[in-house]
């Protein structure tokens, strides 16, 4: 199995889980905020824009675009550094029991995507692409 195939498989898994989380309201999308209380359709539109943005970045990484790699790493680093300071408000209905372990697995897969994108031979695919 080639390294680029493994890399692309990780990207597909991450993108699919992002869609599943959003469609079923699990993970980060299950948190209750005052923005959801003011207008639910505005919240749905904002979440849809965020999901499309993430999927565009993942598509750029699939195509080995340098801008996508840097955008992914930047957003991932910001999320990691700000996560201890974010207020978490959970909904009254809890997601199924497998969501938390799969979420941790996705965090590990995200770290693997970042590591693979900066290590050879995947790094060389990004170098060959023109921005």
Residue 45 CB burial class (10 angstroms; 0-12, 13-18, ≥19) = exposed
Q: Give the pLDDT confidence score for residue 130 in this predicted structure.
A: 58
Number of Cα atoms under 13 Å in the Cβ half of residue 41: 0
Q: Give the pLDDT confidence score for residue 87 in this predicted structure.
A: 62
Nearest to 130 by CA among 65, 37, 34: 65
Non-local (6+) Cβ contacts of 131 within 8 A are 65, 66, 67
Q: Give the pLDDT confidence score for residue 35 in this predicted structure.
A: 53
> Which pLDDT tens digit goes with each residue over 5-43?
999 999 999 999 989 888 887 766 555 555 555 666 777
Q: Does residue 21 contact residue 28 with C-beta atoms inside 8 Å?
A: yes
Alpha-carbon distance of 50 to 27, in angstroms, equals 14
């Amino acid at each position: 199995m080639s390294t680029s195939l493994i890399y692309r498989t990780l990207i597909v898994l991450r993108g699919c889980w992002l869609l599943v989380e959003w469609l079923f309201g699990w993970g980060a999308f299950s948190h209750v905020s005052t923005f959801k209380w003011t207008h639910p359709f505005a919240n749905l539109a904002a979440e849809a824009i965020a999901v499309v943005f993430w999927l565009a970045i993942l598509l750029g990484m699939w195509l080995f675009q340098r801008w996508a790699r840097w955008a992914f790493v930047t957003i991932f680093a910001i999320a990691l550094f700000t996560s201890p300071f974010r207020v978490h408000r959970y909904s009254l209905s809890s997601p199924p029991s497998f969501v938390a372990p799969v979420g941790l697995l996705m965090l590990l897969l995200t770290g693997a995507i970042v590591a693979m994108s900066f290590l050879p031979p995947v790094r060389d695919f990004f170098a060959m692409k023109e921005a």
